[in-house]
């Protein structure tokens, strides 16, 4: 399931292109390979210098997961099924159910119940795991926020380099001088565009994804505790309902 992030970025880029055409400028004048490579390579290098390779790799993996997000777990239905089975056959009967689960956090919670862990231990273990996962999810967003911060600055560096080149060749005449200055500012255009049209929207998308994942884990935590304590079906639903995706 693809969300609106890609559509939004495409719409933003398209609006810029349309604005260029309306102004009467040529799209070709905005295509400058050296400036593009400088922004892309400089931003990538500065971002890699700020994070470990593992963190950057995880951010890309999380981005893919957020853009093509699977349908959220039907947690209410899952816990109702567990509740019915536990009521009939006892909590130990959930061991086979736990093995079938594809969500590691939910599987861990159900397995802790089967192992006979006390409620306080379960809550502490799941909450610690939740907080660590949340930190990693938010760090993925931070990677793209950092890239958005570097991109405009790299663009300014490119513009300065371009202006230096222009000033070294002033004998070319007014037309050549104008073209050189215009080309120099393309780097700033790329830097600002990459930051505001791509990196920041993707960072915000990852933040939203992290929040949805956090809510899902908190619903699982409360559902597991309610299941273990033998609370009735209505209370179980009340425990997890505030965290379910609407």
Q: Is 31 left (phi over 0), alpha (psi -120 to 50) or beta?
A: beta
**pLDDT tens, per residue, the chain with 246 residues:** 456 788 888 898 899 888 888 877 777 778 888 888 999 999 999 999 999 999 999 999 999 998 887 878 888 899 999 999 888 888 888 888 888 888 999 999 999 998 888 999 999 999 999 999 999 999 999 999 999 999 999 999 988 888 887 777 766 566 666 667 777 788 899 999 999 999 999 999 999 999 999 999 999 999 999 998 888 888 988 899 888 865
- What is the predicted pLDDT for the residue at 34? 85
What are residue 26's phi and psi, to 5 degrees? -90, 135
Strand partners, 2: 68
- Whether the CB-CB separation of 206 and 59 falls below 8 Å is answered with yes
Tokens of 159: 């513009």
């Amino acid at each position: 399931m693809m969300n609106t992030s890609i559509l939004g970025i495409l719409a933003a880029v398209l609006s810029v292109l349309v604005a260029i055409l309306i102004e009467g400028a040529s799209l070709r004048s905005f295509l400058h390979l050296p400036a593009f490579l400088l922004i892309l390579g400089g931003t990538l290098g500065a971002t890699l210098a700020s994070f470990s390779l593992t963190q950057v790799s995880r951010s890309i993996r999380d981005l893919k997961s957020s853009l093509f997000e699977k349908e959220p777990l039907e947690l209410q239905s899952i816990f109702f099924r567990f509740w019915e089975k536990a009521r009939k056959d006892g909590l130990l009967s959930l061991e086979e159910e736990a093995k079938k689960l594809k969500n590691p956090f939910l599987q861990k919670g159900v397995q802790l119940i089967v192992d006979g862990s006390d409620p306080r231990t379960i809550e502490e273990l799941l909450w610690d795991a939740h907080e660590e996962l949340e930190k990693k999810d938010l760090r993925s967003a931070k990677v793209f926020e950092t890239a958005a911060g570097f991109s405009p600055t790299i663009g300014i560096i490119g513009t300065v380099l371009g202006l230096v080149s222009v000033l070294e060749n002033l004998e070319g005449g007014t037309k050549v001088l104008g073209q050189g200055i215009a080309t120099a500012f393309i780097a700033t255009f790329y830097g600002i565009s990459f930051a505001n049209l791509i990196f920041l929207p993707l960072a915000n998308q990852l933040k939203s994804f992290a929040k949805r994942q956090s809510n899902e884990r908190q619903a699982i935590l409360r559902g597991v505790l309610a299941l273990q304590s033998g609370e009735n079906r209505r209370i179980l639903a009340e425990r997890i309902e505030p965290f379910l995706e609407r």
